[in-house]
C-alpha cells in the first residue's frame, strides 16, 4: 500500500473496522477459538490482522500503534472493551 501511494502516503487517511475487541491474557487461545468459526483463516492470520484486537490493554495499544492507521471503528458491543485502550492512547 505504501509503495502504491508513493509520496502521497503521509496525506492518506487510513482506517479499519475492528471486528472483535477482546481483553485476554492469552491472545493465541482466543485466536484459536475464533478460527473455529472463521474457518478460512488461521490463528496466526487472526493475530496478525488489523481487524481483530486481542490481548491486554498494553498489547492492544501496541497492536494499534504497529499498524499506524489514522483511526479505527468498532461495533458498539466492543466499546467498553476498547475504552481503556483509547484512554491509554490519549493519556486520559
Secondary element (H or E) of residue 14: none
pTM: 0.85
- Supply the pLDDT for residue 63: 95
pLDDT category, 20, cuts 50, 70, 90? very high
The span from the CA of 75 to the CA of 59, in Å, is 20
- Supply the pLDDT for residue 1: 66
pLDDT category, 18, cuts 50, 70, 90? very high
Tens digits of per-residue pLDDT, 41-81?
A: 999 999 999 999 999 999 999 999 999 899 999 999 999 99
The span from the CA of 55 to the CA of 63, in Å, is 9
Question: What ranges do the domains of the chain cover?
Answer: 15-90
Amino acid at each position: 500500500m505504501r509503495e502504491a501511494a508513493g509520496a502521497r502516503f503521509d496525506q492518506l487517511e487510513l482506517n479499519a473496522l475492528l471486528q472483535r475487541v477482546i481483553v485476554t491474557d492469552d491472545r493465541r487461545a482466543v485466536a484459536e477459538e475464533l478460527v473455529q468459526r472463521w474457518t478460512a483463516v488461521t490463528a496466526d492470520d487472526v493475530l496478525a490482522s488489523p481487524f481483530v484486537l486481542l490481548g491486554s490493554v498494553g498489547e492492544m495499544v501496541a497492536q494499534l500503534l504497529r499498524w499506524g492507521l489514522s483511526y479505527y471503528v468498532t461495533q458498539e458491543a466492543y466499546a467498553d472493551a476498547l475504552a481503556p485502550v483509547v484512554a491509554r492512547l490519549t493519556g486520559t
